[in-house]
Structure 1
Amino acid sequence: TALFISGSNLVAGQDLLTAVQKKFFANFRVSVMLDSNGSNTTAAAMVAQITKTTDVRGKRCVVLAGTGPVGQRAGVMMAREGAEVILTSRSLERAQAACDAMKERFGVEMKPAVAADDETIAKALEGAQIVLACGAAGVELVKEEIWAGNPTIEIMSDANATPPLGIGGIDMMDKAKLRHGKIIYGGIGVGVLKLELHRACVGQLFTANDLVLDAEEIYAKAKEMVAEDDRW
């Protein structure tokens, strides 16, 4: 027996995980995994692919739609790898609230920024080497003409596999594809690893009765998978 916490609300999922853990005592427990809205596995797949491709330490990473569940967790994982992370939102207040929440939960520092229109998106991307698009399905977050002409961007990853894609001008199948001099990962390029990671983590739940798989543990598994298999 194991518990899998899903649902669309990451905050509620995190609260449920905490409540479940408080009910355990002595050897009376089961393994549990949190992946509300697929946020942990998607974020882990995105970041594991990027860290396999390039050293992110000291680089500026902008997370578009950073206040969503995938964006928050991806930002945390990048920050823990040593990147300078900027979480964006249409609202500076929401971006700041997300940064504060992730600092409280994970102890990482991230900076908020507004990305509400072409002008503010272009400004947010100034000086960035890494861009993660973590928005809802079918929502374009950045136009091709904005990112293509950015001289500092090295690598981009999109969580969206439903057209229009989060990053304009890419293909959902892109996997380390070079476009405009930048390395691109599309939604399916990320999604295949995400699905394999999900299966691996669920299988791991049944190897012991005391496992707790949250962002940290799921990301560690993703890094292990990309290191061992050249498919990713």
Structure 2
Amino acid sequence: MAPPRILHMMTPLKHMSPFDVNMALDAGYDDAITYTNVTIDDVYGLIQDAIFSRSPEGIKRQGAFIGGKRAIEALDMMDRAKKAMVPPFEISVFADPAGSFTTAAAMVACAKKALQEKFDTDLEGKRVVVFGGTGVVAFASAVIASTGGAKSVLVGYDGPERVRRLTMEANDRFEANLGYADGTTEEQKSELAESADVIFSAGPAGRQILSLAQIKPAKDLKVVADVNAVPPLGIEGVGIKDKGTPIDGTGAVGIGALAIGDVKYKTEAGLFKEMIEADKPVYLDFRAAYRLAQDLVS
């Protein structure tokens, strides 16, 4: 009888996300063991405890998941996990802090599809303005869009310094070319919206980021995507179920939270299944999520 499929789920937070636990079990893992308040220094020992408990063949039936709420921290934990492997004692690792990598991948993939289908273009050279810039979904979506050739701009809401630091960190780590801007005032947000080809709204749930009046003057605006599913929605004029739906009074189309969420759900499930089915260990982060999300929407 084959040993159970075990997923070791690590987070620096007090609790592991129940959403991710459910997703892992539904994808095919038999057991999901959670480890909370995990530091980067803890990861090495936890991974080695896991990999040396089974034969090289039996080890294929386990993996590791990294959660949390910070993109860079999750990626650093993944790097530490890689260093703990001793081939052939090696397992797959999937990082998705706060579901941000799969959510961001789904949002960018949906926007790219809308650009292709509605405007016969893509992300190359487009000015992508990302509101909620100090949040993990905004951060990840800006980086992902930049990999497609977009000129991403992260917009903060409490002055320029915090969003500037995040941008510099992203540029250094991923060789990206992100810009940043302060969107503390309504006037600043209006100016940023007016300059955009694509707008991503990834701010706090239940908070309107932009009104319809603020996006109507944007002459080059083509796609607006909003991940907020809690009223009031992030962008006025973009419905929760919109999927490339024209926005009244503009030349743009909207993509709502449920359309993005459907792709996000399938992306996360698909990456868990990819770990389960892989013949060799895989390491999955926002890049893998975006690859799969594009396949799912095409």
Q: Deviations along 1:128-184, whole A, 9 cap, x unmatched? A: 110000112111111121012322211100011111111123211111111133110
Contact 2:140 2:286 in 1 (8 A): yes
Matches within 5 A, 1:71-86: 71-86=138-153
The residue number in structure 2 matching 1:100 is 168
Q: Which stretch shifts more, 23-32 or 5-14?
A: 5-14
How many angstroms does 1:84 deviate by?
Answer: 1.0
Verify: 1:161 aligned to 2:229, yes or no: yes
Q: How far apart are 1:10 and its partner, in Å?
A: 2.9
**2:265 aligned to which of 180, 195, 211:** 195
Q: Aligned partners of 1:179 and 1:10: how far apart in 2?
A: 32
**1:123 and 2:191 matched:** yes
Contact 1:114/1:124 (CA < 8 Å) preserved in 2? no
Q: 1:106-136 CA deviation, whole Å, 9 max, x = no partner?
A: 1101111011121010111232110000112
Partner Cα distance (1:86, 1:104) in 2: 15
Name the SS of the counterpart of 2:65 in structure 1: strand
Paired residue secondary structure (1:116): coil
- Which whole-Å deviations, capped at 9, do the CAs of 1:168-201 have from their partners, x for residues lacking one? 2321111111113311001111111111111111
1-side partners of 2:277 and 2:215: how far apart? 44
Cα drift, residue 50 of structure 1: 1.3
Match runs of 1:3-152 below 5 Å: 3-54=64-115, 55-90=122-157, 91-152=159-220
Gaps of at least 5 residues in structure 1 are 228-232
Q: Secondary structure of 2:253's match?
A: strand
Contact 1:68 1:134 in 2 (8 A): yes
Taking every aligned residue pair, what percent have the same amino acid on both sides?
A: 29
Shift of 1:9: 3.1
Residue aligning to 1:230: none
CA distance in 1, matches of 2:73, 2:152: 25
Q: Residues 193-231 of structure 1, C-alpha deviation per residue, up to 9 Å, x if partnerless?
A: 11111111111111124100011111111112112xxxx
Shift of 1:11: 3.4
Paired amino acid for 1:9: R
Q: How many residues align?
A: 227
Answer yes or no: is the 8 Å Cα contact 2:71–2:140 preserved in 1: no
Distance 1:8 1:56 in 2: 27
* Secondary structure, aligned partner of 1:51: helix
The code of the aligned residue for 1:216 comes to R
1:70 offset after TM fit, Å?
Answer: 0.6
Partner Cα separation in structure 1 for residue 256 and residue 167 of structure 2: 26
* Residue aligned with 2:230, SS: coil
Q: From 215, 223, 232, give the equivalent of 2:294.
A: 223
Report the Cα distance in structure 1 between the residues aligned to 2:96 and 2:272, rounded to whole angstroms.
Answer: 10
Answer yes or no: is the 8 Å Cα contact 1:60–1:84 preserved in 2: yes
Measure, in 1, the Cα distance between the counterparts of 2:89 and 2:197.
47
State the distance in 2 between where 1:42 and 1:187 align.
10
- The 3-state SS of whatever aligns with 1:206 is helix
The CA distance in 1 between the partners of 2:72 and 2:288, in whole Å, is 18
Gaps of 5+ in 2: 1-61, 116-121
User: Take 1:203 and 1:64, find their aligned partners in 2: how far apart are those partners?
Assistant: 32
State the Cα distance separating 1:63 from its structure 2 match.
0.4
Write the distance in 2 (CA, Å) between the matches of 1:85 and 1:142.
18
